[in-house]
Chain A
Amino acid sequence: DVVLTQTPVSLLISLGGQASISCRSSQSLVHSNGNTYLHWYLQKPGQSPQLLIYQVSNRFSGIPDRFSGSGSGTDFTLKISRVEPEDLGVYYCLQRTHNPFTFGSGTKLEIK
């Protein structure tokens, strides 16, 4: 199975600051069709996960441009700029290139 390693485990960011989360894969996430199925989710406290970014860098409907994704191959990054109180929660990366699909272990974002 593909292993996704997320770092850091937790982040303490000031309001208005910037957060960066890394997701590294044990193998390339480029699908045979050329697409890269690496997505980012946020799970706010007491809620189900919500999709933020799909296929590395595409923001899902309604997601503000403070959230951005980048990367290729095995290394991916989620950046959150101008951090707001509602951004707190646990961020997960998910790969859907290889079966079985797998999640990273999560990064907890806390606000100072």
Chain B
Amino acid sequence: EVKLVESGGGLVQPGRSLKLSCAASGFNFNDYWMGWVRQAPGKGLEWIGEINKDSSTINYTPSLKDKFTISRDNAQNTLYLQMSKLGSEDTAIYYCARWGYWGQGTLVTVSS
């Protein structure tokens, strides 16, 4: 069974950084592009970016490229999202995704 479990969310102050993780299981992690999507409270879905199998290609939504960094550790079957200079507009549920499957998401709240 494919499982994607995000962690690392929580309350963070404006201007600070936060790193999210996504633990994958039930499939060969090395074989898939992986991505992140977010959803602000009561709003629609926003694609953040995705990373290819060997981390040689990473695509971002341009408006988020300067503050978000996607990486992966194939040995640990884990996807990461490093977020910096966070603002209230970054308050959202952050989902990890691969083809056909999404995690349950982790909530990030940016507030003082």
Contact B100–A61 (Cβ < 8 Å) = yes
Give the residues in chain A near B60, CB-CB below 8 Å: 100
For B83-99 the 0/1 string (1 means CB < 8 A from A) is 00000000000010000
Give the residues in chain A near B44, CB-CB below 8 Å: 92, 103-106
Contact B47–A49 (Cβ < 8 Å) = no
- B11 interface contact, C-beta 8 A: no
**B31-64 interface with A by 8 A CB criterion:** 44-47, 49-50, 59-62
Number of interface residues of B (CB under 8 A): 17
- B103 interface contact, C-beta 8 A: yes
Instruction: Identify which of B44, B62, B101, B104 gathers the most chain A CB atoms within 10 Å of its CB.
Output: B44
Contact B102–A102 (Cβ < 8 Å) = no
- A99 interface contact, C-beta 8 A: yes
For B57-86 the 0/1 string (1 means CB < 8 A from A) is 001111000000000000000000000000
Instruction: Tell me whether A50 and B47 are in contact in the complex, defined as CB-CB below 8 angstroms, given that A99-B59, A100-B59 are known contacts.
Output: no
Give the residues in chain B near A54, CB-CB below 8 Å: 100
Contact B102–A101 (Cβ < 8 Å) = no
Give the residues in chain A near B49, CB-CB below 8 Å: 100
Instruction: Tell me whether A48 and B62 are in contact in the complex, defined as CB-CB below 8 angstroms, given that A100-B47, A106-B44 are known contacts.
Output: no
Q: A105 to B43, alpha carbons, bound, how many Å?
A: 8
Contact B100–A103 (Cβ < 8 Å) = no
Give the residues in chain B near A99, CB-CB below 8 Å: 59
Contact sample, A vs B, 29 pairs, CB 8 Å cutoff: A1-B61, A41-B45, A43-B45, A47-B104, A48-B95, A48-B102, A48-B103, A48-B104, A48-B105, A49-B45, A49-B95, A49-B102, A51-B100, A51-B101, A54-B100, A60-B100, A61-B100, A92-B44, A92-B45, A94-B45, A99-B59, A100-B47, A100-B59, A100-B62, A101-B50, A101-B61, A102-B47, A103-B45, A103-B46
Q: A residues touching B (Cβ–Cβ < 8 Å)?
A: 1, 41, 43, 47-51, 54, 60-61, 92, 94, 99-106
Q: B residues touching A (Cβ–Cβ < 8 Å)?
A: 44-47, 49-50, 59-62, 95, 100-105
Q: Nearest 8 pairs between A and B by C-beta?
A: A100-B61, A48-B102, A101-B47, A103-B45, A106-B44, A51-B100, A99-B59, A105-B44
